[in-house]
A and B are shown apart, each in its own frame.
Chain A
Amino acid sequence: MGPQSLSRRKREETRTAHDEGVTAPPSAAAPPRGDRPVVDPAPAGSTARRLDPRRLAALGFLLPLLAYLVAFYAYPLWRNIDMSLHDYNLAAFVQGNAQFVALDNFRAVLSDPTFRPALVNTVLFTVGSIAVQFTLGLALAVFFRRTFPLSAPLRAMFLVPWLLPLIVSGSTWSWMLNSDNGVVNSAMQAVGLDGVNWLTSPGTALLSVTIANIWLGVPFNLVILFAGLQNIPDELYEAAELDGASSWQQFRSITFPLLKPVSAITLLLGLIYTLKVVDIIWIMTRGGPGDSSTTFATWSYREAFGTGLPEFSPAAAVGNLLILVALVAGFVYIRLQRRREHA
């Protein structure tokens, strides 16, 4: 890469950064960064500040958000916990006389015949999706690191799967994987393989939804890892090239170690988002056949909304287990993020 294209890229980068107030370090959800310390030093003269009209104004500007968080996050979540501790059905909902059963719902969930397959499927789906998404995302990010004609628009095209409504991707994949008329099976038959009942046989349903989910997740990994690559100084690669390092050696001794913090964050966010996935599985297989593609999230959805007979209490119990996992992952994420900023 010539010095000219290099400086052009840098310029583009700063422009984006300026326009958006988002600089290149790929920090999910833009936590405090750069010019300010993460934790405010104790404000001097805090009694004086309490009376400051600016503080009052700040509260005024925050009030809608605070009210909103209480009404639309805290309260629904509270109702969710409440449901998991009571025995709710539709009638009890309306009359408001659900019986308090303490942890019975959790016990019932743990001994439910769906629990084991759901656990196994969740692990397979999550680990499979993340591993492949990340690998493909990283490979593509490295590929796009060298700018070439049309590289920017081509890279942008990779965002398409991420932007499409899930119902669109889900129904398209369903039709492509259709046993009798799907393009995948006919391609396999064309090269002499037998067709597979992708979505309707218990052995491949989970694999099918995992493939679709990988397709959905590659763009996210690509974008974050690509942004991470932009932060590795080009000089390192130039020096390595002068020393005669092969591309693989460059990847192993420059890209991989320097990308580690960003990779950790990408993987963790991948974990959090994959655990939540309901739509794509529900649209393609409804978790079936049987429980063969049921994960915790789809199980929870099915109990509450998927059948004619809503079972909110066990659904809420499963949901709360999910929240617990997400919270732990969230704390780890924030830890990682802080460490990166202090480094």
Chain B
Amino acid sequence: MGVLLVAVMLFPVYWMFNVSLTQTSDLRSDPPRLVPFGGTLDGYRAVLDQQLPALGTSLLIGFGTVLVTLAIAAPAGYALGKLRPRGSEALNFLLLVAQMIPAVVMAMGFYAVYLNLGLLNSVWGLILADSTIAVPFGVLLFTTFVRGIPDDLLKAAQIDGAGTVRTFVSIVLPLSRNSLLTVSLFAFLWAWSDFIFASTLNRTGDLIPITLSIYAFIGNNTTQWNAIMATAVVASIPAAVLLVVAQRHISAGVTAGAVKD
């Protein structure tokens, strides 16, 4: 029963695989081929030939976004979780609301700002914009985790003469490994998957990410759906890795952050 439900749910994913392996001449056969027997790797060859730069750009954007997100969110989480200056509650509230702002609104704002700054069509501009998807989530997740670290541990460090910075670097950060990992994984996945920011802030850039590349592919009214689906399969690899490596963290992330655009 469970297997059946999963099969129904994941049929589109199977279909993506199936089409990615189908010969171009069989794509329009009726009835469609349900299993890719006698299939072809042409679709994947097309990916290798044409999509490597886009995949590279997406990797760069993904890693850049992770770095920006961690650099902002980790210290802030420590401050909000343990040092708790006044106004923490208000800040928490702002972060919650920030996650609810529609991406299209953010995209327009960024477009206006970037137009004046000359940051349109730049990878760095896109990294900064993409990081806004993950920063509020990251701060809230870190805050919750850091709050759970026993005070005694931090007190002991203080007694040993460690200042706040020392405590943060040598105690809080190592303890937060799992949270850091969760936030990084999500930041990477969201940046990698981003379509709205890429399609608005990077419309005519030289370096386009994989999402835009697929979109351009579809728009060309192409007959090569096997190549499109092969690209889609490759573009799904980070999601697959995430699922295998960090299944537990995903559920924790969903329930803790409950965000996706």
A and B form one complex: yes
| A interface residues with partner B (beta carbon < 8 Å) | 16, 19-22, 24, 26-33, 35-36, 38-40, 43, 46, 53-55, 57-62, 64-65, 68-69, 72-73, 75-80, 82-83, 93-94, 96, 140, 143-144, 148, 150-151, 154, 156-169, 171-176, 180-181, 183, 186, 190, 215, 218-220, 223-224, 227, 269, 272-273, 275-276, 278-279, 283, 297, 300-301, 304-305, 312, 315-316, 319-320, 322-323, 326-327, 329-330, 333-334
Q: Which of A94, A144, A218, A315 is most buried by chain B, counting CB atoms within 10 A of its CB?
A: A315
Which of B105, B143, B168 contacts A80 (CB under 8 A)? B105
A151-B6 Cα distance, complex, nearest whole Å: 11
A32-B140 Cα distance, complex, nearest whole Å: 9
The answer, yes or no, to whether B103 is at the interface (CB within 8 Å) is yes
Residues of B within 8 A of A30 (CB): 140-141, 143-144, 256-257
Smallest beta-carbon distance A184→chain B, Å: 10
Residues of B within 8 A of A19 (CB): 178, 248, 252
Smallest beta-carbon distance B113→chain A, Å: 6
Residues of A within 8 A of B260 (CB): 162, 220, 273
28 sampled A-B residue pairs with Cβ under 8 A: A20-B182, A22-B255, A26-B255, A26-B258, A27-B256, A36-B147, A39-B89, A40-B89, A54-B83, A68-B72, A79-B109, A94-B115, A96-B116, A157-B6, A157-B9, A162-B254, A163-B189, A167-B211, A171-B232, A181-B28, A186-B30, A219-B254, A269-B258, A276-B261, A319-B108, A326-B101, A327-B97, A334-B93
Which 3 pairs between the two chains have the least Cβ-Cβ distance? A76-B109, A21-B145, A28-B258
A181-B2 Cα distance, complex, nearest whole Å: 30
Which of B75, B85, B144, B232 contacts A172 (CB under 8 A)? B232
Smallest beta-carbon distance A273→chain B, Å: 7
Evaluate contact between A22 and B144: CB separation under 8 angstroms: yes
* A220-B254 contact given A297-B102, A312-B108, CB 8 Å threshold: yes
A163-B6 Cα distance, complex, nearest whole Å: 15
A125-B140 Cα distance, complex, nearest whole Å: 30
Which of A32, A151, A171 contacts B2 (CB under 8 A)? A151
Evaluate contact between A80 and B193: CB separation under 8 angstroms: no
The answer, yes or no, to whether B71 is at the interface (CB within 8 Å) is yes
The answer, yes or no, to whether B3 is at the interface (CB within 8 Å) is yes
Residues of B within 8 A of A40 (CB): 84, 86, 88-89
The answer, yes or no, to whether B27 is at the interface (CB within 8 Å) is yes
Evaluate contact between A223 and B255: CB separation under 8 angstroms: yes
A194-B121 Cα distance, complex, nearest whole Å: 46
Interface size class of chain B, counting residues whose CB lies under 8 Å from the partner chain: 35 or more
A238-B229 Cα distance, complex, nearest whole Å: 48
* A272-B243 contact given A57-B83, A220-B254, CB 8 Å threshold: no
Evaluate contact between B16 and A172: CB separation under 8 angstroms: yes
Evaluate contact between B12 and A69: CB separation under 8 angstroms: no
Known: A30-B141, A276-B103, A323-B105. 5 other contacts (CB 8 A): A29-B95, A40-B89, A215-B9, A223-B254, A322-B104
Evaluate contact between A29 and B239: CB separation under 8 angstroms: no
Residues of A within 8 A of B257 (CB): 28-30
A178-B116 Cα distance, complex, nearest whole Å: 41
Tell me the residues in window 22-37 of chain B with beta carbons closer than 8 Å to chain A beta carbons: 27-28, 30-32
Smallest beta-carbon distance B99→chain A, Å: 6
A283-B261 Cα distance, complex, nearest whole Å: 14
Evaluate contact between B100 and A330: CB separation under 8 angstroms: yes
Which of A83, A273, A279 contacts B195 (CB under 8 A)? A279
Smallest beta-carbon distance A99→chain B, Å: 16
A163-B254 Cα distance, complex, nearest whole Å: 11
Evaluate contact between B199 and A305: CB separation under 8 angstroms: yes
Residues of B within 8 A of A24 (CB): 255
Evaluate contact between B16 and A300: CB separation under 8 angstroms: no
Residue of B nearest to A144 (CB): B2
Evaluate contact between A300 and B104: CB separation under 8 angstroms: yes
Residues of A within 8 A of B88 (CB): 40
A77-B113 Cα distance, complex, nearest whole Å: 10
Residues of A within 8 A of B165 (CB): 57
Residue of A nearest to B252 (CB): A20
A36-B98 Cα distance, complex, nearest whole Å: 23
Evaluate contact between A319 and B255: CB separation under 8 angstroms: no
The answer, yes or no, to whether B207 is at the interface (CB within 8 Å) is no
Q: What sequence of 0s and 1s flags, for each residue 208-234 of chain B, a beta carbon within 8 Å of any chain A beta carbon?
A: 001100110010000001001100100
Residues of B within 8 A of A323 (CB): 101-102, 105
A39-B113 Cα distance, complex, nearest whole Å: 36
Evaluate contact between A176 and B12: CB separation under 8 angstroms: yes
Smallest beta-carbon distance B98→chain A, Å: 6
Residues of B within 8 A of A283 (CB): 195, 215, 218
* A275-B195 contact given A29-B257, A61-B168, CB 8 Å threshold: no
The answer, yes or no, to whether B128 is at the interface (CB within 8 Å) is yes
Smallest beta-carbon distance A233→chain B, Å: 19
Residue of B nearest to A181 (CB): B28
Q: What sequence of 0s and 1s flags, for each residue 132-157 of chain B, a beta carbon within 8 Å of any chain A beta carbon?
A: 10011101110111111000000000
Residues of B within 8 A of A215 (CB): 9, 12
